[in-house]
Structures are given as structure tokens and as C-alpha cells.
Amino acid sequence: MNSKRPVNLDLGKFHFPLPAITSILHRVSGIIIFVGVAFMLYGLQLSLSGEEGFSQVSDLLNSFLAKLITWGILSALLYHLVAGIKHLLMDMGIGEELESGRAAAKITIAVSVILIVLAGVWVWA
């Protein structure tokens, strides 16, 4: 039998490199923010409508669901911001090589996780 015949690659064992994952998360977080703008505009309108509206928003932000939505939007926003800054640095030629690109992806994840945890403390505390 010809030993050079092609083998079936085990697709289950393939995984995305980290820079691919940070790129997909950038897209996903962007879509979450786009949907989140509706919540933010609603909150802004109510909070600026008067004393009563402002305290309604404050009260609303005490509920579990609203806290979860707020944290979710903040997390998406912070991730998108950090990954976006990475892109702006890449525009300047920083982090474009294979090794520096991988390092930049790691830094993006690390900084985002820290900021998302801080945002969680801010929202839930």
C-alpha cells in the first residue's frame, strides 16, 4: 500500500491560535455593544428626564438582572476597547510579527480579564 496516501486529519484536535480567538471575541463583543446601545440610550434618557427618572435608573441598577446586563455590556466594552487599542498599535507597526502578535494576544486577554473583574467588583459591590 502506498504510504504517501493522504490521511484523514482529526479536525476535533485542531484548535484556533490565540490571536484568532481574540479576533473573534473582538467581533462578538462589538455585536454585544451594538445591542447594548439600546439599553444605554434607554438608561440615559430615563436618567436625564428628571430626579424621579434618575432614581428609577438607580433603583433599576440594584436588581440582579440589570446588574448582569450592565456587567455584560461593560465587559464587552472593555474587551473591545483593549483589543481595539491593540489594533491601533498594530497600525503603528507594533505587534505585527508572529511572536509579538502572540504576545499581544496574551496581553489583550490578561488586561481584559483584570478590567472585567474590576468592573464586576464595581457593579456588584
Interface with another protein (CB under 8 A): 27, 30-31, 34, 37-38, 41, 44-45, 47-48, 50-51, 54-55, 77, 81, 84-85, 87-88, 91
Shortest Cβ 33–another protein spacing (Å): 8
Task: Pick between residue 7 and residue 121 the one whose CB is nearest to another protein.
Answer: 121
Task: Pick between residue 87 and residue 106 the one whose CB is nearest to another protein.
Answer: 87
Question: Cα(51)–Cα(47) distance, rounded to whole angstroms?
Answer: 8
Question: Cα(1)–Cα(27) distance, rounded to whole angstroms?
Answer: 47
**Of residues 122, 121, 118, 111, the one with CA closest to residue 22:** 111
C-alpha cell at 23: 479576533
Shortest Cβ 13–another protein spacing (Å): 25
